[in-house]
Structures are given as structure tokens and as C-alpha cells.
Amino acid sequence: MAHISSPEPFSPDDLSRLRNIALDLEFADGVTAVASPFILRLPPSEDAPSGRPVFGATIGSDYREDLAAFRALETGLPTYIADQGRAILVTVSVDADATTVPQARDRIESTIVGALPEGMTLQLTGEDIISIAVVEGLTNDLFRLNAVGALLVALSAMVLLRDLRMTVLIVVPAFGGAASVLALSVWLGYPITMLTNVIPILLLVLGGANCLHLARHLRHGSGKVEETLREIGPASALTAITTSLAFASIMITENTQVREFAILGAMGTLLAFAISLVSFSLMALVLGGRSVKPSQAGTGLARWLTGIGTTHARLVVVGALALLVLAGYGFIKTTPWVVLDDNLPRGSEVRAANAAVARDFSGVFQMIVEVDGDWSRTVELAETLVDVAGPEAVLSEPGLARWRGLGRGEPQADDLDTFPPALVNMVRPDEETHRILISLAEPMSDDAALSRYRRVHDAAVAGGADRVFGTPVLMHEEGLSLIAELTRSLVIASLGASLFVAFAFRSLRIIPLLLIVNVLPLMLAGASLHIIAGGKLTPTAVLGLTIAFGIAIDDTIHFLGRFDRSRARGAGTERSLQFATSSAGQSMVLTTLLLTGGLAVTLTSGFLPIWLFGGLIVAILWAALVADLLVLPALLSLRRNGAE
């Protein structure tokens, strides 16, 4: 679709030049058909058996009268020219076997721009154009996200640790793990999508966080690689498994892109962990050894939070439960919402074109309504849809019949021969099917568009349509279905990861503890959507919450691992909490800072879903850190008191 607009109403000379452009497009390589205002004809007459063109050979100042006469026919057919006379729409059909979409786009753009009258602007859109714009934007974003993300992880590690050897032990294995995921995506044959675009940088920062736990123990402990792997390795493996399970829980969806995201994430997490662990072990043999002056960064915050949790355990737990209820209520009050335009880069010309077409010509996308055989029902339904959607948003066979002068009568074969075959095939795909096409904006582009979509859809169903489909229906129905599936995945991930961790610790009693500590950050982040996203729950948001749970539980695993190890050695609860805080607390603070530094690059992405995905994970990580160092010690203290 080519949307051409002017600051002033088109003059006869402007329209003559625009008609020449439309004619030039018909002869462009790969173009099979062009629809524009200049194909409009008034009904046949004795003087003009095929109908007189609305825009004659010479376009005069009276063209508005002819256009008004066409609209007065009340056929409901589109005129491709806005009421204000400041915009026209030219639709171009392309033979995909003769040219590619990018080539056709560039050819169409150069043809129009080269002859466009001064002061007019061109905007191109269409389903194929949208797909190309998304892929081109993602390709550029992929390199920048991973390159800048790797740099941020390295800088964050160096600033936090001020130890070059530890930084190398953290960054190099993590980078190797992330690179292996890129290779895995190529091996699986998965294309670059909005979702898979974030996996390498996500696993890069997760690998860095995992290696930080290992490196800290190595440099602050005995300096022996074997001891570090024995003490920290199991917990690190468990965190990789829970993150992989979070990805795997998403596989229940039937959406191809989301399923590929889940498979790549689940396999990539385990592969990246294996690569980073082996790399760390080999490098530690050369760069290992105990640090002469271990860093204490983050220790103060960890001890302060744990101190509050143990000192005011009952108050902290009651407050956490109350906050969990309030945040949970806020989360369930979010509205499922799917916007295709969000998959376009911010500031995209295609996004602006979609808005312009929706404003001037009802929308880019078409809802298709089919009726089997019943002509009278088709006529009534078409008239109803014209009333609901607007007079120039509906293309139908009854509209063609009215133009032909048949009133509500059904056109016969010789009547249909008056029209271009391509047009006839659109409204009558076979002898028994009548098809009505309604132009609509993206259903969830805003509240008004959603209301209009629902009115049109409900009118079609109530009017006896045998089938209602098309891109708007797919975006709305499949989008809501996807969110429902992903919400189930979130529940599965939460329960599944908690059960797995409880099994690993051989204690089912810790399941409530795990759920409270790790669901609280999720609910807080979910409720925050009312602030950062207008209360809209998108597929990206649910994915972010699901994956973040698998990441957030990592700190819980490390803290509980140190706590249980101390308890197994005979220490009491208070002493074990102190040991867990001093040994794991610092690493938890540092890994959160490291993850924040690495994922901060997603906040610079031109794609809103990537920005939201990264932002939610960062928010959840900080909420999880506070929960693990404040609420978890409080719960463990109360459990001790209850046991006593």
C-alpha cells in the first residue's frame, strides 16, 4: 500500500500527475495489478457501456462532483481517496515468483518519489512490507545487543570486582556460552525473530552471573578448582536446569515463533552452562588461586537486609504476604493485549504509514467474511457491515451489484464480466461462496480500534456469516490465545521449578517458602505493568515473567545451598544464616548488579518488546534479591522458631 498525502486538497493537476504515477506502476517489473482512485467508474450507460471513468482523460475542477456522484451510489465500495481530498491510497499487487518484496518495495518507492509533486509525502506499508521492516530492524539490533551487552558485562565485572583475573574468569566463559547459542540457532535453522533475538545476550549475562559465583568462591576460598566445583558446581547446575525448565514450560504453545524461542532457550541454557563451566575450569587452572585482598563489595547490603529479616521476622513475613496479595490482585487486573506494530522499531516509517492508512482509509488489514450460497443473507450482511464499519471500508459482491444497477439482485456471469477478474475473484472465490472484505486497523492498536473490531466481528457473526477470518481476526484471537497459553506456562514454570528445587534439596516442606519468595517478585513486576505499560499484559511481558522466575530462583538456590551445608555441619539456624549471607549474599548482590549491567543494553533497543522484556527481568531480579536476603531469612527464622 502506498499512502500519498498532501498538506492541501489535491488540485486537478496534482491528480493528473498522481494518475500518471499509478499508470507507471502498472508497468513496473513484477507488478500484477494496481488499484487507485483512477480505476473508479460510474455505472454503465448507453453512452458508456463499461461505465464512465470518475476521473476522465482531462481532470477538471469538477472532479469532486463526479466523486460525490460515485459515493452517492451507496455501493460501500472504497474510493481510495480520503474525504478531505488530501490523501490517496494506491495498492500494488506483486508476483512473488518474479521479484522479491524488498526489490518490489524499492522499485515502487523510486517510481513514486521520482514523479511525486512537490510538498507531497509517500508512506509504504502492507503485510509483506511490515515483515521486511521487522527482519531488517532485528538484524541490526542483534549485533548491537550482543556486542554492547558483552562490553557492558565486562565493564560491570571489572568495576564491581576490581580484579582483572576474576573479570577474565567471568567474561570469557560466559561469552563462549553465548556464542555457542548463536551457533545452535544456526544449526537448528531458526530465523531471527523478536523473541530469539534476546536469548544470546540473556544467556551471556546469566553465564557471567554463574561464573561470578564460581570465581568468588575460588578467589575468596582455598583457591582450588576442585573444591570450587564441588562446593558451587551443584548449585550452579541446578540454577541452569531451573532456567532451562522455565524455557521448556513455554513449549506448550502452538505458536511457532514462541515454540522456537522455548526450544532454543531450553537447549541453549544447558549448552551455554556446559561450555562456560568447562571453560571456567580450564582457565581457572591457569588464572585461579586465592585473592590476596578479597573484595567486600555488596557484603554490607546483604548483611543489612538479612539482619532486618531475622530481627523482625514476623513483621517482614506478614508484610511480604500482604504485598503478595496486593501485587497479585494488581497482576490479575491487567488486560491481555497484543499489538503487531510493537514488533516494528520505534520511529519506524512503516508504523507511521499504518497509522496514516488507519486514519484516512479504515486500516491496512482486511477481515474476510464468507457466506455459502445464500444471496439474500449476503446482501443483508453486507448492508449491516457497511453501517457498522463505514461506507468505504467494505468490498462486497452486493456492492458491485448496486454499482451495476441491479439493486439487491444477484449479478450473473455477464454482469461480473464488467469487472476486472482479480476483483471478482476477491468477492467470489468460487461459485458457491460470497465473500465480504472489511478494511480495519490493527485491532489492539488502541481502544477505539478494538471497539470497532469487536462491533464488526460481532455483526458478522450475528448476521449469519459462515466464516470470519483474516489478519485482524488472527491478531486478536490468536494473540489472546497465546497470552492464555503463556500464562499457563508461567504457572507451570513456577510450580515445576519449585518442585524440582524441593526434590533437589530433598525437602517438600520448602515448597511454600520457595513460592512465597519467588512469586512475590513476579507479582510485583506484573502489577508494575499498570505503571509502565498502561496495564496491558502482552506476550512479551508474560515471557519475561516466566523466564525471570527461572532466573530469580537461582539466588534462592545458592542461599539455601549454603544454609543447608552449614546446617549439615551442625551449625544452628542463626549461624547458618550468617554463613549463607557472608558466602552467598555478596555474590547475589554482585550477580544482580552484573545482570543489570548486561541487560541494560535491552533498554536501548528500538523494539518495545525487547525493551519491556529486559526491563521486567531487571526489575524482577532486584525484587528477588530483596526477597532472598530479607524475606527468605525471615521465613527460615520463623521455621526454626516453629520447630523449637
The secondary structure of 10-53, three-state, reads CCHHHHHHHHHHHHHHHCCCCEEEEECHHHCECCCCCCCCCCCE
Identify residue 42 by its one-letter amino acid code.
L
Domain ranges in the chain?
A: 2-129, 130-342+476-643, 352-475
**Does the structure show a pLDDT above 80 at 219?**
no
**Does the structure show a pLDDT above 80 at 291?**
no
Q: Which residue has the higher pLDDT, 390 or 527?
A: 527
Task: Name every residue whose Cβ is closer than 8 Å to that of residue 147 and which is 6 or more positions away in sequence.
Answer: none
**Does the domain spanning 130-342+476-643 belong to CATH 1.20.1640.10?**
yes
Beta bridge partners of 315: none
pLDDT, tens digit, for every residue of 471-481? 999 999 988 88
Strand segments (E) across 198-338: 335-336
CB 296 within 8 A of CB 303: no
In angstroms, the CA 27 to CA 457 distance is 38
Q: How many residues does the chain have?
A: 644
pLDDT, tens digit, for every residue of 327-376? 999 999 999 998 888 888 888 899 999 999 999 999 999 999 999 989 99
Q: Which CATH architecture has domain 2-129?
A: 2-Layer Sandwich (3.30)
Instruction: State the pairing for strand pair 536-537/335-336.
Output: parallel
Eight-state DSSP code of residue 289: S
Q: In CATH terms, are 2-129 and 130-342+476-643 the same topology?
A: no
Q: What is the pLDDT of residue 157?
A: 83
C-alpha cell at 276: 562456560
**Does the structure show a pLDDT above 80 at 140?**
no
Within 10 Å of residue 252's Cβ, how many Cβ atoms? Answer: 14
Q: φ, ψ for residue 333 (rounded to 5)?
A: -90, 0
Sheet of 87-94: strand order equals 31-35, 87-94, 2-5, 121-124
| Residue 642 pLDDT level (bands cut at 50, 70, 90) | very low
**Does the structure show a pLDDT above 50 at 643?**
no
> Which whole number is the average pLDDT over 108-120?
92
Q: From its phi and psi, is residue 362 left (phi > 0), alpha (psi between -120 and 50) or beta?
A: left
C-alpha cell at 130: 511490515
CB 297 within 8 A of CB 232: no
Mean pLDDT over all residues of the chain? 88
> Which whole number is the average pLDDT over 310-327?
95
In degrees, rounded to 5, the angle at the alpha carbon of residue 558 between the alpha carbons of residues 311 and 278 is: 160
**Does the structure show a pLDDT above 60 at 582?**
yes
